[in-house]
A and B are shown apart, each in its own frame.
Chain A
Amino acid sequence: MTATVSGTTGAALVLGDDALVLSHRLAEWAGHAPVLEEEVALANIALDLLGQARVLLSMAGDEDELAYLREERAFRNLQLVEQPNGDFAHTIVRQLLFSTYQRFLYEALAGDRVFGPLAAKAVKEVAYHQDHAEQWTLRLGDGTDESQARMQRGLDALWRYTGEMFRPVDGLESVKWQELEARWSSSVTSVIERATLRVPEGPRTGAWAAGAGREGLHTEPFGRMLAEMQHLHRSHPGASW
Chain B
Amino acid sequence: MTTVTDAGQTAVDADRTAVFDAAVAADERIEPRDWMPDAYRATLVRQIAQHAHSEIIGMQPEANWITRAPSLRRKAILIAKVQDEAGHGLYLYSAAETLGTSREELLDKLHAGRQKYSSIFNYPTLTWADVGAIGWLVDGAAITNQVPICRCSYGPYARAMVRICKEESFHQRQGFELLLTLSRGTEAQHAMAQDAVNRWWWPSLMMFGPPDDESSHSAQSMAWKIKRHSNDELRQRFVDIAVPQAEALGLTLPDPDLKWNEERGQHDFGAIDWTEFWDVLKGNGPCNEQRITQRRTAHEDGAWVRDAAAAHAAKHTERTTARSAQNEQEATA
Using CB atoms and an 8 Å cutoff, list the residues of chain A in contact with chain B: 20, 24, 27-28, 30-37, 39-40, 43-44, 46-47, 50-51, 53-54, 57, 63-64, 67-68, 87-88, 138-140, 142-144, 146-147, 150, 228-229, 231-233, 236, 238-241
Distance A37 CA – B104 CA, assembled complex (angstroms): 13
Interface size class of B (residues with CB under 8 A): 35 or more
Cβ B72 vs Cβ A39 within 8 A: no
CB of B273 closer than 8 Å to a CB of A:
no
Distance A47 CA – B77 CA, assembled complex (angstroms): 9
- Given the interface pairs A35-B305, A40-B90, A68-B70, the reply to whether A239 lies near B186 with Cβ below 8 Å is yes
Chain B residues with CB under 8 A of A50:
72, 75-76, 79
Cβ B128 vs Cβ A232 within 8 A: yes
Chain B residues with CB under 8 A of A30:
59, 63, 66, 79, 82-83
Chain A residues with CB under 8 A of B311:
143-144, 147
CB of B302 closer than 8 Å to a CB of A:
yes
Cβ B67 vs Cβ A37 within 8 A: no
Give 10 nearest A-B pairs by CB, closest first. A34-B302, A143-B308, A147-B308, A43-B83, A39-B86, A30-B63, A34-B305, A139-B312, A241-B71, A31-B63
- Given the interface pairs A35-B306, A144-B308, the reply to whether A40 lies near B181 with Cβ below 8 Å is no
Distance A238 CA – B189 CA, assembled complex (angstroms): 12
Instruction: Give the shortest distance, in Å, between A227 (CB) and chain B (any CB).
Output: 10
Select the residue from A40, A43, A87 with max chain B CB neighbours within 10 A. A43
Instruction: Give the shortest distance, in Å, between B115 (CB) and chain A (any CB).
Output: 16
Distance A229 CA – B33 CA, assembled complex (angstroms): 50
Distance A24 CA – B69 CA, assembled complex (angstroms): 11
Docked complex: B289-307 residues within 8 A CB-CB of A: 294, 297-299, 301-307
- Given the interface pairs A139-B308, A142-B315, the reply to whether A27 lies near B79 with Cβ below 8 Å is yes
Cβ B312 vs Cβ A236 within 8 A: no
Using CB atoms and an 8 Å cutoff, list the residues of chain B in contact with chain A: 56, 59-60, 63, 66-76, 79-80, 82-83, 86-87, 89-90, 93, 103, 128, 181-182, 185-186, 188-189, 294, 297-299, 301-309, 311-313, 315
Cβ A236 vs Cβ B189 within 8 A: yes
Chain B residues with CB under 8 A of A229:
67-68
Instruction: Give the shortest distance, in Å, between A86 (CB) and chain B (any CB).
Output: 11
Instruction: Give the shortest distance, in Å, between A77 (CB) and chain B (any CB).
Output: 15
Chain A residues with CB under 8 A of B68:
228-229, 231-232
Distance A144 CA – B313 CA, assembled complex (angstroms): 11
Instruction: Give the shortest distance, in Å, between A222 (CB) and chain B (any CB).
Output: 13
- Supplied contacts A27-B66, A68-B71, A147-B308, 7 more A-B pairs, CB within 8 Å: A43-B79, A44-B83, A87-B301, A144-B304, A232-B69, A241-B181, A241-B182
Select the residue from B72, B93, B303, B315 with max chain A CB neighbours within 10 A. B72
By DSSP majority rule, is chain B's interface helix, strand, loop, or mixed? helix
Distance A40 CA – B79 CA, assembled complex (angstroms): 10
Distance A232 CA – B67 CA, assembled complex (angstroms): 10
Distance A47 CA – B72 CA, assembled complex (angstroms): 11
29 CB-based A-B contacts, threshold 8 Å = A27-B79, A30-B59, A30-B79, A31-B60, A32-B294, A32-B298, A33-B298, A34-B305, A36-B90, A39-B59, A43-B80, A47-B79, A47-B83, A50-B72, A63-B72, A67-B72, A68-B70, A143-B307, A146-B304, A146-B307, A228-B68, A229-B68, A236-B189, A238-B186, A239-B70, A239-B185, A241-B74, A241-B181, A241-B182
Distance A175 CA – B321 CA, assembled complex (angstroms): 45
Instruction: Give the shortest distance, in Å, between A149 (CB) and chain B (any CB).
Output: 10
Instruction: Give the shortest distance, in Å, between A241 (CB) and chain B (any CB).
Output: 4
* Chain A, residue nearest B307 (CB): A144
Instruction: Give the shortest distance, in Å, between B155 (CB) and chain A (any CB).
Output: 23
Distance A37 CA – B93 CA, assembled complex (angstroms): 12
Chain B residues with CB under 8 A of A43:
79-80, 82-83, 86
Distance A197 CA – B112 CA, assembled complex (angstroms): 37
Cβ B304 vs Cβ A147 within 8 A: yes
Cβ B89 vs Cβ A54 within 8 A: no
Chain B residues with CB under 8 A of A240:
181, 185
* Chain B, residue nearest A39 (CB): B86
Select the residue from B66, B186, B307 with max chain A CB neighbours within 10 A. B66
Instruction: Give the shortest distance, in Å, between B170 (CB) and chain A (any CB).
Output: 15
Chain B residues with CB under 8 A of A236:
70, 186, 188-189
Distance A36 CA – B298 CA, assembled complex (angstroms): 10
* Chain A, residue nearest B298 (CB): A32
* Chain A, residue nearest B75 (CB): A50
Cβ A241 vs Cβ B70 within 8 A: yes
- Given the interface pairs A34-B301, A35-B306, A139-B309, the reply to whether A53 lies near B72 with Cβ below 8 Å is yes
